[in-house]
Amino acid sequence: MDLAYLRAHPAHLPTFRTHQRLRETPVAGGDICAAARLTLDDGHSVFAKSWPERSDRAVPEGFFEAEAAGLRWLRAAGSVAVPEVIVALPDLLALDWVEPGEPTPEAADRFGRELAGLHRAGATTFGATWPGFIGSLPQDNTPTDGPWSAWFAERRLLPYLRRSVDNGALTVADVTLVERVVDKADGLGGDEPPARVHGDLWPGNVLWGADERAWLVDPAAHGGHRETDLAQLALFGGLPYLDRVLAAYHESWPLSDGWRDRVPLHQLHLLLVHTAIFGSGYREAVVRTARAVLGRAERATVDR
């Protein structure tokens, strides 16, 4: 099997794997999927993701198809680097292999400019035309005209707040705190038309390539707010050279007034996803971030 054959017959990939007709090397695939580097007969490599065989859950319907749709949509913008989808099956996704490299200041500058270009490509509405996932959880992508603040509260905060309550990750007091954030969200401003966003852009989903570019992987792509992607880059230790990324981005497409004050609001979405999936270990981060949002909202009220 070479790359040309695989492109022409993507459904044959599982059979070739089963019969060990490919050189397969396990690689890190995150907390959800099993992943491997597959080397084809022509020397070309692809990155394959599949649902773990020992999982106690079946692969969620549409899981890999949603990721493939998001990758293709981001790639179609022709700006930031996104791996090509080679195979998209209900239980398997294979992408063109990206040779890993190291972050550099020059790559960070380029990434900032290219991320601005991706966001400028825009979206018809908030949400998307395909069902969404973030991590292993469904994400409501029902197309919506906005405004952004109302859509974000209803589709990106409240669903994961409810899940975090159901799994015991958050207390009643925590829920009240986040609900206050929902009530105050529109008071922080920043409403914009929908941008074309990655949607799960924590630093682990930026792959620094040997070609000195930053590549986007594992998206929860949809029409959303460009500030969400930028805010998520600062989570969990932050992206290397983030200041340079932000400076290059702002030079290419200046951010709206008050964007720094809205960073905690945008980050709250992904933190609630983490309490919904992983439990109370992320509770303190949710509480701290919600309090930061409210503090900024109160200051904004005083300033007006």
CATH number at residue 87: 3.30.200.20
Is the same domain home to 78 and 134?
no
| CB 198 within 8 Å of CB 221 | yes
Q: For Cα atoms 50, 56, 58, give the angle at the middle one, nearest 5 degrees.
A: 50
Is the same domain home to 138 and 269?
yes
For the packed helices 263-278 and 283-303, what is the interaxial angle rounded to 10 degrees? 160
Encoding tokens for residue 86? 């080679």
Q: Which domain holds residue 39?
A: 3-96
Tens-place pLDDT, residues 140-196? 999 999 899 999 999 999 999 999 999 999 999 999 999 999 999 888 888 999 999
Is the same domain home to 175 and 262?
yes
Is the same domain home to 259 and 207?
yes
Is the same domain home to 223 and 175?
yes
96, 125, 140 — which closes off a domain?
A: 96
Provide the number of structural domains found in the chain.
Answer: 2
- Determine whether 203 is exposed, middle or buried from the number of CB atoms within 10 Å of its CB (0-12, 13-18, 19+): middle
Is the same domain home to 41 and 109?
no
| CB 114 within 8 Å of CB 81 | yes
CATH number at residue 271: 3.90.1200.10
Is the same domain home to 79 and 202?
no
96, 117, 136 — which closes off a domain?
A: 96
Tens-place pLDDT, residues 215-274? 999 999 999 999 999 999 999 999 999 999 999 999 999 999 999 999 999 999 999 999
Torsion of CA 54, 56, 57, 58, to 10 degrees: 50
| d(C-alpha 145, C-alpha 221), whole Å | 17
Is the same domain home to 19 and 113?
no
